[in-house]
């Protein structure tokens, strides 16, 4: 019989070295399987994977009720991947999750999006900070980089992790073509057509010069810019722009999609630009657009300007 601990190690090695999953996915798999192990240990269940049955998993799911639906979904997905692997490797004869229907209702929050004016204020603030920095200082280089990051977030609608993990070889500023590596190592193309965006990216290359290595973005220590660093610079720029709302890279991504939809871009193209594997994920933006249309009709319909005498 295989112990849960050994099976977990083998599974994680398989994910890292054979499937080449991202460090972020591996991190969550590790956290989720450690939690599952702790649950079994605390509640007196067998720690051999062949002894784990449906009832055990049902009890574990009850234990997860206090977590957010999105987190529960992730933890269940981890267990599914784990037991699918064990079944494939013939470590277990029966996959206890195969015939279990796990339904987790997650409230569908409509994405928040900025207006064109609000987006303009954030971009303007990035350039204002740049213009106020002294030439020849690291602060100026940093401000060039920050403006370039925000421009690229808005130009591509990419996820923060996709921007952070951008490699120097992924950009061709002569053609404006960028290769974005998304979820599941799926690659998609993005095109930058705005001259201002291309200029600030070239300015970034000039400012950091030979110091730029395999990865495009650099911090003060010469290391790759992290997801959190990008979130922080967006947060600071938004605060300095005096926008009284929470703006994250994900909000900029939503803004990119929503404004394209408002400009009559077909949703299938938006799906491709965002890197969504399913059109269903993208269709949430149509609800945002319907609300916008309703508001326009309430506020702007010419019928409101007519005052008629009713007999």
CB 208 within 8 A of CB 230: no
Residues belonging to the active site: 159, 183, 250, 253, 276, 285
**Paired tokens of 107:** 């409230």
Kindly report the number of other CB atoms within 10 A of residue 17's CB atom.
9
Which residue from 207, 226, 92 is spatially nearest to 142, judged by alpha carbons? 207
Packing angle of the helix pair 249-262, 116-131 (nearest 10 deg): 130
């Amino acid at each position: 019989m295989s112990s849960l601990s050994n099976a977990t190690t083998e599974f994680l090695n398989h994910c890292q070295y054979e499937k080449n999953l991202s460090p972020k996915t591996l991190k969550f798999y590790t956290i989720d399987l450690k939690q599952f192990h702790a649950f079994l240990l605390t509640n007196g269940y067998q720690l051999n994977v062949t002894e784990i049955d449906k009832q055990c998993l049902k009890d574990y799911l009850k234990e997860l009720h206090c977590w957010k639906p999105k987190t529960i979904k992730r933890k269940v997905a981890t267990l599914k991947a784990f037991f699918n692997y064990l079944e494939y490797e013939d470590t277990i004869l029966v996959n206890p999750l195969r015939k279990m229907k796990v339904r987790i209702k997650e409230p569908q929050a409509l994405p928040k999006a900025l207006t064109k004016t609000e987006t303009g204020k954030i971009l303007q603030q990035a350039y204002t900070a740049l213009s106020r920095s002294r030439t020849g200082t690291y602060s100026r280089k940093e401000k060039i980089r920050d403006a370039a990051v925000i421009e690229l977030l808005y130009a591509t609608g990419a996820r923060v992790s996709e921007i952070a993990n951008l490699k120097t070889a992924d950009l061709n500023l002569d053609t404006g073509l960028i290769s974005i590596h998304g979820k599941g190592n799926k690659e998609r193309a993005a095109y930058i057509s705005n001259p201002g965006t291309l200029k600030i990216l070239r300015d970034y290359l000039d400012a950091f010069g030979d110091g730029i290595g395999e990865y495009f973005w650099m911090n003060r220590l010469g290391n790759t810019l992290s997801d959190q660093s990008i979130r922080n610079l967006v947060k600071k720029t938004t605060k300095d722009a005096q926008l009284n709302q929470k703006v994250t890279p994900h909000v900029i991504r939503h803004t990119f999609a929503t404004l394209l939809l408002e400009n009559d871009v077909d949703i299938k193209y938006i799906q491709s630009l965002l890197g969504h594997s399913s059109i269903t994920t993208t269709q949430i933006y149509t609800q945002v657009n319907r609300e916008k249309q309703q508001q326009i009709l309430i506020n702007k319909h010419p019928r409101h300007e007519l005052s008629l005498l009713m007999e």
